[in-house]
Amino acid sequence: ANIAALPDIRRLDERTVNRIAAGEVVERPASAVKELVENSIDAGAGRIDVVLEDGGRTLIQVTDDGCGMVREQLPLAVERHATSKLKNGDLVHIEALGFRGEALASIGAVARMNVTSRAQGSDAAWSIRVEGGQVDAPAPAALGAGTCIDVRDLFYATPARLKFMKTARTEYAQATDVLRRLAMAHPDTAFTLSDGRRVTFRAEPVANLVGNARLERLAAILGREFRDNALEILAEREGLRLEGFAGLPTYSRGNAQHQYLFVNGRPVKDRLLAGAVRGAYQDYLARDRHPVLALFLEVPADFVDVNVHPAKAEVRFRDAGLVRGLIVSALRHALAEAGHRAATTVAG
């Protein structure tokens, strides 16, 4: 064969690799918000404030009061495949929300990003700037303890992706949904979301004195009416634990958008779980009606693979049947009991 006529096989340079990968991790402003807020949660923040201008298309800013970073850590934080969260390459026992070390590098590859941070106990803040994958040296900055990341002009470096961004209103709504889900899973953390003029979403930390912190946080996000129409769900089977609150059939909605599912504290959108919910309610609801619920499933680390999807929205279970069975039976049990209570109240 004529080797000279064959096409060259070349390694992609790092900036190109990052821009390609960024497309998987950061699909839209809401996915950048998710990554940044998850980092703040992983950093142990007690309060997280998010500002989005133009639906996040021109500015996404996330400020937290978490552990912060020292100067030497900043270049690593924005480097691809660098993380403080994966211990000894153990992909099984993942406790943090992050672990892939891709988010900051990906965002920095397609936007203009500034990471400013001051480590707890340190008196100096430092800032590092990344623009289209180009990383500057850290510079002195001013900030209280914690981290503030701002991302401007998302996707300016990838014009094809830029064109796929929806209206500011749609992007803002998506980001709000992301924040609501994370706030449900973290009742001790304060969250705000602002559009630069006013706060549009706020979740105050639920005091420990309150009987059920989780229900209080859900009520704050989903409304008092949800609380008055929700059944408590609590079930355990073979090391799996399910808890949460599920709306009565009479409190149903016309779409399935109001189902909030979590696995080990991680918001997920999983077909298996959604299917189990549908199965449980099928005798109680017309086909075009959907329950409102928030379910938190806790499983052993080696029972679930959270590494299936770059954005970590989908998970894979070792025994899907067991998960489905637990959810269906816990929901059906609660629904049957509620029905029984209602019947005896009427009769009595």
93/341 with CB nearer Mg ion: 93
Least distance (Å) between residue 101 CB and Mg ion: 7
Candidates 31-39, 122-130, 219-227, 270-278: pick the segment binding Mg ion (CB under 5 A): 31-39
Judge contact between 40 and 64, C-beta under 8 A: yes
Burial class of residue 72 in the structure, from the number of CB atoms within 10 Å of its CB (0-12 exposed, 13-18 middle, 19+ buried): exposed
SS (H, E, C) 242-286: EEEEEECHHHCECCHHHEEEEECCEEECCHHHHHHHHHHHCCCCC
* Residue 189 interface partner, choices Mg ion, ligand ADP, none, CB cut-off 5-8 Å depending on type: none
Distance CA 34, CA 259 (A): 18
Distance CA 209, CA 13 (A): 55
Judge contact between 295 and 262, C-beta under 8 A: yes
Residues 87-126 within binding reach of Mg ion (CB under 5 A): 98, 103
Residue in this structure with the two tokens 């980092």, named with its chain if needed: 39
Candidates 34-42, 130-138, 147-155, 199-207: pick the segment binding Mg ion (CB under 5 A): 34-42
Establish if 63 lies at the interface with Mg ion (CB under 5 A). Answer: no
Least distance (Å) between residue 301 CB and ligand ADP: 17
Establish if 263 lies at the interface with Mg ion (CB under 5 A). Answer: no
Least distance (Å) between residue 236 CB and ligand ADP: 31
32/125 with CB nearer Mg ion: 32
Give the DSSP per-residue string, 80-136.
Answer: TT--SS-STT-SSS--SS--SS-HHHHHHHHSEEEEEEE-TT-S-EEEEEEETTEEP
70/272 with CB nearer ligand ADP: 70
Least distance (Å) between residue 299 CB and ligand ADP: 21
DSSP state of 7: P
In the complex, the residues that contact ligand ADP under the rule CB under 6 A are 35, 39-40, 43, 64, 66-69, 77, 83-85, 98-105, 147
Distance CA 64, CA 39 (A): 9
Candidates 38-46, 109-117, 225-233, 304-312: pick the segment binding Mg ion (CB under 5 A): 38-46
Judge contact between 342 and 229, C-beta under 8 A: no
Establish if 182 lies at the interface with Mg ion (CB under 5 A). Answer: no
84/194 with CB nearer ligand ADP: 84
Establish if 244 lies at the interface with Mg ion (CB under 5 A). Answer: no
* Residue 102 interface partner, choices Mg ion, ligand ADP, none, CB cut-off 5-8 Å depending on type: ligand ADP
39/192 with CB nearer Mg ion: 39
- Which of 31, 39, 116, 147 touches Mg ion by CB under 5 A? 39
75/205 with CB nearer ligand ADP: 75
Closest CA to 115 of 148, 75, 152: 148
- By beta-carbon distance, which residue lies closest to ligand ADP? 98
Least distance (Å) between residue 33 CB and ligand ADP: 12
Judge contact between 260 and 273, C-beta under 8 A: no
* Residue 104 interface partner, choices Mg ion, ligand ADP, none, CB cut-off 5-8 Å depending on type: ligand ADP
Give the DSSP per-residue string, 282-330.
Answer: TTTS-TT-B--EEEEEE--GGGEE--SSTT----EES-HHHHHHHHHHH
- By beta-carbon distance, which residue lies closest to Mg ion? 98
Interaction site with Mg ion (CB under 5 A):
39, 98, 103
